[in-house]
Amino acid sequence: MLNRAIKRFWNDHRGYVIALTLISMPLLLGFSLLVIDVGRSGNLHTDLQNAVDAMALTGARELDGRDDAITRAEAAIEKLANTAAFGGGGEGMALGSNLTVSFDAGNDATSTVTVTFLKDIPDDDDDAIPGSMVTTDPNEASYAWVAAKPQAMQTIFPVPVGFNRDTINVSADAVAVYHASACDITPIFICNPYEPVGNTTEAGNEQAAADLHTNFAAGNLYGRQIEMHSTSSSNPGPGNFGFLRTPLGNGASVMAEALATGVPGACYTQDSLDTKTGAMAGPVEAGVNTRFGIYEGSFKSSRNDGSYRPAQNVRSAQKATGQNACKGYDPVMVGDVVGDVTKAVPLGYGANMTALGGGKISTGNNWNYANYWSVAQGGSAPSVSTILSNYSSYPPTATGTPSRPSAYDVYQYELNTAALLNHASANGEIGTPTTGGGQCYSGPALSNYTADEYGDRREIFAAIVNCGYEASVGHLNGHKQTQAVAFARMFMTKPAVKAGNERYLSLEIIDITGKGGRGTLDEFLREEAELVR
């Protein structure tokens, strides 16, 4: 009988599911908690990643190469606070509480992220960032690297995770890079005057860029006159200028239009310019010179269009006066020098010029300010301090006081006084352009166009390129990406000059982007940041 009872119990399967459920419940519960912990850690990582992504982008946006770039980047990151939610709390935190992801440049202990600035990154994203790429120099910093400090997330799953701990560390990092594009600029590039002839190395490329910024910041370009000659060669050098491709179309007429209006229909990215090769000399004087109220070639019928208006001061030693001055630039000259002290002289007159590759550059700020003033305005020239108290383009980083004002600062001083604009040189030339019915320009009144809205028509904005290096790596020959070392704001001291088959522009560089720049190009820049790893 006992054996029968045992046998019945053994063969009775009622309640079997309950037994199995009770046996498997701990395993099912543990697996469920593990899934929850995996989800919580994923959510936490996402929150941290979003936070450091935003901080890296915010910081990189300020890395424009100027002396205060890192200070501004750190300040921007400090202002950005993101909240990353811990689903199960962290060490010393209650379930469901939040951790504020923040940065204090002066107190690492209270910061939940570390911020590092880089001058370069490895080509392979899987490679670690070496210490040699880290920089504290604001002029070199191009990348912002933001890393969240590891956050201890307390697990719900009861089995210890890792090295006998019941917490797991969650972290995230991001690297963003600064990009600058210039919009509505003249589709021209000029060759860096500080790049040595024959430069073909990466080291020389970097040094030439550094020399440009250092010399501008020191005031060594202030008031210096530069003649930039056009070239159709794919190997231009210092003293040459060329053209940037415009999406508006091909051909000389399209380039002339873009030069005349300063609207190329594109924004140009500093590290990815697209050059336009070929013989394009014709558009230089035809397009650029509309800015001086000179209408020739295809622009003869554009006199009543405000897009081709002259600047409000066009004094340039033009031989003809009145309506005849509209037909082309024919300056008074003595030998091969533009200007004659017995008739009329242009701004920048009398500078002691020396060869600069394919062009010329003055040996310093040595243009004959006194002679210019005597011929254009009569009497003694105002003091340097008087001119600069009205407007100064002298870099604030430069020491001392310039020996004379730049041509651009004198131009601004003249613009501020109607009597100076209307004072005639010996040949009758005045600064005020000829306007009105039947005259050179007959479009909307020039008083409608303020500098803040439309800029000054005697200023052009161009890319500065290390032409020697870019040509050596094949970036100036055809439809290639070329890198600019800076964008420049330049003042045309006179219209484009035609000398035989050559055309040249006479310029003063009055500001550049990046280190040492005065910041006046900001309105033309579209500054962006991009996540790169």
Per-residue pLDDT of 43-56, as tens digits, reads 677 778 888 899 99
Closest CA to 379 of 335, 321, 327, 419: 419
Alpha helices (runs of H) in 192-264, residue ranges in sequence order: 202-217, 252-261
Average pLDDT (355-361) is 89
Instruction: Print burial letters for 31-59: b (CB count within 10 Å at least 16), e (below 16).
Output: eeebeebeebbebbbebbbebbbbbbbbb
Task: List Cα–Cα distances, 128 to 48, 53, 124, 151, in angstroms.
Answer: 20, 18, 9, 21
* Better-scored residue on pLDDT, 117 or 198: 117
How many Å apart are CA 423 and CA 356, to the nearest integer? 35
* The predicted structure's pLDDT at residue 161: 45
* The predicted structure's pLDDT at residue 451: 58
Q: Contact at 8 Å (CB) between 311 and 348?
A: no
* The predicted structure's pLDDT at residue 426: 94
Instruction: Print burial letters for 378-396: b (CB count within 10 Å at least 16), e (below 16).
Output: eeebbebeebbebbbbbbe
Closest CA to 358 of 238, 504, 225: 238
Question: How sure is the predictor about 244, in pLDDT bands with cuts at 50, 70 and 90?
Answer: confident
* The predicted structure's pLDDT at residue 31: 61
The tokens describing 71, both together, are: 């200070």
The tokens describing 470, both together, are: 């870019």
Q: What angle do the packed helices 407-415 and 369-376 form, to 10 degrees?
A: 30
How many Å apart are CA 238 and CA 87, to the nearest integer? 62
* Residue 114 DSSP SS3: strand
Residue 463 backbone zone (phi > 0: left; psi -120 to 50: alpha; other: beta): beta
Q: What angle do the packed helices 69-79 and 16-60 form, to 10 degrees?
A: 140
**What percent of the residues of the chain are helix, what percent strand, and what percent coil, each to the nearest 5?**
30, 25, 45
How many Å apart are CA 267 and CA 526, to the nearest integer? 8
Average pLDDT (429-458) is 78
Instruction: For residue 500, count other CB atoms closer than 10 A to its CB.
Output: 5
The tokens describing 272, both together, are: 């990815």
Percent of the chain surpassing pLDDT 90: 38
The tokens describing 379, both together, are: 């009497």
What mean pLDDT value characterizes the chain? 83
